[in-house]
Structure 1
């Protein structure tokens, strides 16, 4: 049951169903999940090690509010990992993930045309996930999953895409990355992917308030 609590609370935080800074009540969660406080307490400890919650002794447990510095540092690591993934995928040739990426971009083009930011945000998450899967490197993927959880990335994507013109620019950057992968230009694919992640970080940070929780 503890694993169920961990998985569900992780999902809620990452998806943004629970706001950054929100207090988490052990008693309320225990009642909701129909368990004692012990598995809830252990679940929250696990989520703290993942960087998703902060346990303050004698105060309470709260959803982590990442600082601008933490976001910058995590995006620097994201840039390295996704750049490596683009390089590895470019070296693999025509694998099934390529077909999926092409389908993803067709749908993304349509979402941008309709100005459907919610759908485009979903496709952004899928694009990056397909890229990592296509790298065919389980260690790289494992580190990436932990990083994405710490970023609560799904929530931040929506904030980044709130910048005027960012969805269209992001879509163009994805097309260029895939083009270079198809050309098997591993060096350029890595460079352009890293530039794309950097641009996303800049859009995100410019959309965040200067003070207060960087949610969105």
Structure 2
């Protein structure tokens, strides 16, 4: 149920927020929290009341005061905080990546529904979203076909990505020191270091980490249209170039190092360093994408 998913996601975000505050300090108003977490005041109020019932907060003098950081057991499982559409997107992307899908690959709605435990209606709605961009095509009597990408398509999309991400990166580093995004950025930096240490056996895991890092940056300047369009950007840049398996491990290693420089620049608050790191990483991503597309074309000839 969508409302339940939203509630549980907001609940987990509020637990993160509590841990960013000192015990004994007051949380911001419901209006401020609703803006920070992208939720309604009704949902925020319901979450705060439950947290008071768990003894993590107390309502005093018309404000909620943090009583404890003992939040670990209160979190809802991550799978319960993801909507059906988001879960389908992730599963479909993983299928495309690990299944070595190529342009011309047939996509059967019924088979996808069984594989992902999603209704055929949900599968169809998902595919319709991508059909608007020409990435998949419905063929009467034969289901769907994945069409792949032209260099012109990728080039136009990349121009949009550069505008979106540079704007968001600069906005990210202008956030106040108490913003929850800083803690998330440090944690995702630690994940990068851990993956780099084990890159030889876990290099496939970079796709998910890459997506979460860039989405965190994009959220530095929340914009519903940018975040929705970023789904298409994810599809192309985080999955398409990985069809060329020959140098995937080294590519991912290089991208992790670039991410760590990018993260360091964001944490420094130096806007010139942020712009330089962002542009350097996007330039590398552009080269990687187009080299992959050329390799794919050569292999088909």
TM range (shorter): 0.7 to 0.9
* Partner secondary structure for residue 16 of structure 1: helix
Higher mean C-alpha deviation, range 126-135 or range 47-56: 47-56
Q: Measure how far apart 1:6 and its partner are.
A: 7.2
* Matched-pair contact (CA < 8 Å) for 2:136–2:147: yes
* Matched-pair contact (CA < 8 Å) for 2:210–2:238: no
> Quick one: which of 203, 217, 228 aligns to 1:131?
217
> Quick one: which of 183, 187, 195 aligns to 1:111?
195
Aligned to 2:259: 174
Between the aligned partners of 1:42 and 1:120, the Cα distance in structure 2 is 27
* Matched-pair contact (CA < 8 Å) for 2:211–2:238: yes
Aligned to 1:90: 173
Q: Deviations over 1:128-165 (max 9, x none)?
A: 1211223333343233234334x2x4423645783564
* Matched-pair contact (CA < 8 Å) for 1:44–1:53: yes
* Matched-pair contact (CA < 8 Å) for 1:14–1:155: yes
> Quick one: which of 173, 180, 186 aligns to 1:102?
186
Question: RMSD of the TM alignment (CA)?
Answer: 3.7
Between the aligned partners of 1:39 and 1:142, the Cα distance in structure 2 is 17
Aligned to 2:270: 185
Bigger RCO (CA 8 Å, 6+ sep): 1
Q: Deviations over 1:163-201 (max 9, x none)?
A: 564333322322222222223223441342132122022
State how 1:1-216 maps to structure 2 within 5 Å.
10-17=89-96, 19-20=101-102, 21-25=104-108, 44-56=127-139, 61-94=144-177, 95-115=179-199, 116-149=202-235, 151=236, 153-156=237-240, 158-159=242-243, 162-163=247-248, 165-208=250-293, 209-211=295-297
Between the aligned partners of 1:108 and 1:140, the Cα distance in structure 2 is 25
* Matched-pair contact (CA < 8 Å) for 1:23–1:63: yes
Q: Measure how far apart 1:62 and its partner are.
A: 0.5
Aligned to 2:40: none
Q: TM-score, normalised by structure 2?
A: 0.55
Q: Measure how far apart 1:213 and its partner are.
A: 8.6
Between the aligned partners of 1:46 and 1:66, the Cα distance in structure 2 is 16
* Matched-pair contact (CA < 8 Å) for 1:79–1:198: no
Q: 1:127–1:192: structure 2 CA closer, same or farther, 3 Å change rule?
A: same
Q: How many residues align?
A: 208
Q: Measure how far apart 1:202 and its partner are.
A: 0.9
Between the aligned partners of 1:74 and 1:142, the Cα distance in structure 2 is 14
Q: Measure how far apart 1:9 and its partner are.
A: 6.3
Rg (Cα) greater in structure: 2
* Matched-pair contact (CA < 8 Å) for 2:93–2:239: yes
Q: Measure how far apart 1:40 and its partner are.
A: 7.0
Q: TM-score, normalised by structure 1?
A: 0.73
* Partner secondary structure for residue 211 of structure 1: helix
